[in-house]
Amino acid sequence: MTLERNILLALLAGAALLPFAVTDQYILHLAIMALFYAVLASSLNLVVGYVGEFSLGHTAFLGTGAYTAALLSTQAGMPMWVTIPLAGLVSAVFGFAIGAITLRLQGPYFVIVTLSFAEVLRIIANNWIAVTNGPMGLAGVGQTLFGDVAVTDKAGFFLIMLGIAAVALYLSYRFVYSNAGRAAVAVRENRYVAQSIGVDPFGTAMQAFVLGAFLAGLAGGFYAHYISFVGPEVFRFAFMATMIIMVLLGGKGTLIGPLAGAVIVTVLEEYLREVQELRLTLFGLIVMAIVLFLPNGLMGFIALRREQQAAKPTLNAAKERTV
């Protein structure tokens, strides 16, 4: 707990220095996208890693947040400090409504229904032309932070995204190390044993689900302002696949794992940009390799190595006594 908290604080402190040390706009863009994906992966990790339910509909909350921020900005002229928190709250309301239905299901039924909700929202965004402008999307989303102050460079967007990431990690940390977080882990390990000791699986999963939806909505709200455009493709499965890869690669059920996965996959995506259509295929192969050789991700592998190193002196002492 203390080690994980200190590492997170060190990472945030180091990231805060980046815009002062780096002026290259391309590198800052990569850093912004890595933070964006880190928030998304962390939000998905609350459901997949701690509750143990495999959601394929997390893009529903990303898209809801993005469209909420875009509509509030283009239609009501609201600045970012208003639209992004409201995007998170609207996504949390959607999360509560969707969770009330889907969290009563388990296993493949939960997976299919959550995927269906994301697809339904994509179809609505694509066809409700009066509100969403259909396939043309909402363009010209404002980049005003507050009052007349507009964000005009990558360094400004990076600091905003870093603030959102800090909020996301703080809320995730508070949840994971609370009684609700420990109850979620109990539900993940064995739902029936958890019930036998008084844990409410549905209520516990709902807390993680709504918090995950809120964080994904915050990320979606930022994405709308950063890109200045939102279209139905924000609900596409490619976002979902990227989130899953990040969580599995870094290590589900840890706070640091999704961050590591987000950085690695963001950099890999840039290196693999030349093989556009093959990227998902290559990522699919990476997921297969992770499942086969690193089932607990990079953080799980590191934890295993640490345990083995710690056990060596004990084993050596036992051998010496035997001799």
DSSP 130-184: HHH-GGG-EE----EEETTEE--SHHHHHHHHHHHHHHHHHHHHHHHTSHHHHHH
Structure confidence at residue 84 (pLDDT): 95
Q: Is 230 helix (H, G, I), strand (E, B) or coil?
A: strand
Q: How far apart are CA 49 and CA 52, in angstroms?
A: 6
Tell me, yes or no, whether 305 lies in a domain. no
Tell me, yes or no, whether 155 lies in a domain. yes
Q: What is the mean pLDDT of the chain?
A: 87
Q: Which residues contact 293 (CB under 8 A, 6 or more apart)?
A: none
Q: How far apart are CA 66 and CA 171, in angstroms?
A: 20
pLDDT (average), residues 276-284: 72
Is residue 115 scored above 90 in pLDDT?
A: no
Number of domains in the chain: 1
pLDDT in tens, 5-28: 888 899 999 999 988 888 888 999
> Residue 3's pLDDT band (boundaries 50, 70, 90)?
confident
Q: How far apart are CA 213 and CA 216, in angstroms?
A: 5
> Higher-confidence residue: 169 or 268?
169
CB 73 within 8 A of CB 224: yes
Structure confidence at residue 1 (pLDDT): 66
Tell me, yes or no, whether 317 lies in a domain. no
Rounded alpha-carbon distances, angstroms, from residue 307 to 258, 292, 302, 317: 21, 21, 9, 16
Tell me, yes or no, whether 314 lies in a domain. no
Tell me, yes or no, whether 310 lies in a domain. no
Domain span at residue 189 reads 1-297
Tell me, yes or no, whether 306 lies in a domain. no
pLDDT in tens, 293-323: 888 888 888 888 878 887 776 666 666 666 5
Q: How far apart are CA 236 and CA 233, in angstroms?
A: 5
Tell me, yes or no, whether 198 lies in a domain. yes
Rounded alpha-carbon distances, angstroms, from residue 7 to 3, 80, 86, 91, 315: 6, 29, 30, 29, 30
One-letter identity of residue 280: L
Q: How far apart are CA 40 and CA 262, in angstroms?
A: 9
pLDDT in tens, 58-95: 899 999 999 999 999 999 889 999 999 999 999 999 99
